[in-house]
Amino acid sequence: MIHINDTSTYHKEQIITLGWELTVCNMLYPEHSPCRQVIRKNASYGTLLYEFLSEFIDITQITHIMEVGGGYGFLMKDLLQFCPEALVTMIDISPAMLEEQKRNVQGKITFIESDFLKVDDDILTNMDLIICNEILGDFITVCNITKEILESSELSEIKEIRRLIAEYNLGICSEPFNFNLGALLALEKMCQAGIKYIYASEHSCESESQGDFKECVHVRPTFNPYEIRLFGHSEYALRFSHLEAVARKWGYTVHRGVYNDIFGCEMTPKLRFILHSTASVKDEYEILRQFIGDMFIYEYVLCTR
């Protein structure tokens, strides 16, 4: 029996805080966050993302930026320190989160309350850069699909999945399988609009820990989007190979990796002790264990054309 995971009602009607959903961006925002002690530079997510994007993009030439599902607005607030003249559009399905963004983000900002997939394509045409940070897992995922269902179902969502699999030659590794329908449709929408630069990051079902962290951070690929249970709703990890396939078919160059490429954590004796410790002697230890895990659980794609 298939299940369609749809978080739209929760985000439109119920969410009042992200307190139950501790994003990497929020973990890095406080100046005295313990997470800042283990990254390459004591700085916020927005600052480090700007520096990372600058390796591939001349951000000084960007005049229009859109962020989809911007949470509290911390990322955009920091990004605008480096391009204060940019015109910004914040799109969010949640009225509560839009109010947070209005309080936190200052500049030439347009706020739009909408499901991104329902936004008029004309709104996208002037955008130079679209950011989807830690949000695509909230888009619709169709779960428990079997080969029989895929081949015979006339459900509109299954028809779209058949189209996407055929059009982008997407591999399926298990049965039954879960499919990130909403995330792929969102990326396809951006590619069709000809957006110059697209940055997307989220939990990945294809990533794994690397280097000195491999032995003490147990992140291994499942290749099937898995459920992440959160307060009031669930989201699903993404198959980043599918995102990559869509972008490449539209002629984009794709830079793909794990968060640690951006944040540059290095193993230290103290960090090794914390990661191997089974007891949370201090709150700091639990926070750092989650943060270091996120450095490899999260993947990103930067699509450029």
Q: What is the pLDDT of residues 194-229, one digit of tens each?
A: 999 999 999 999 999 999 999 999 999 999 999 999
- For residue 281, the model assigns a pLDDT of 64
pLDDT bin (cut points 50, 70, 90) of residue 232 is confident
Q: Name residue 234's beta-bridge partners.
A: 229
Q: Tens digits of per-residue pLDDT, 13-64?
A: 887 666 545 789 989 989 999 999 999 999 999 999 999 999 999 988 899 9
76-135 pLDDT per residue, tens:
999 999 999 999 999 999 999 999 999 999 989 999 999 999 999 999 999 999 999 999
Q: What is the pLDDT of residues 164-195, one digit of tens each?
A: 999 999 999 899 999 999 999 999 999 999 99
Q: In terms of DSSP bridges, do strands 298-304 and 64-68 run parallel, antiparallel, or are they unpaired?
A: unpaired
Q: CA triplet 151, 138, 127: central angle to 5 degrees?
A: 100
Nearest alpha-carbon partner for 100 in 9, 33, 8, 16: 16
Neighbours of 298 (CB within 10 A): 26
Helices (H), 29-179: 45-53, 74-79, 95-104, 147-152, 156-168
Q: Between 146 and 276, whose confidence is greater?
A: 146
The Cα 183–Cα 142 span in angstroms is 11
Kindly give the residue spans of alpha helices, DSSP state H, lying in 109-209: 147-152, 156-168, 181-192
Q: Is the full-model pTM beyond 0.85?
A: yes
Predicted local confidence at residue 277, as pLDDT: 80
Per the document, the length of the chain is 305
Helices 269-276 and 283-297 cross at an angle (nearest 10°) of 90
**Cα(153)–Cα(163) distance, integer angstroms:** 13
Q: What is the pLDDT of residue 151?
A: 96
The residue type found at 119 is: V
State the sign of the Cα–Cα–Cα–Cα dihedral 3, 7, 13, 15.
positive
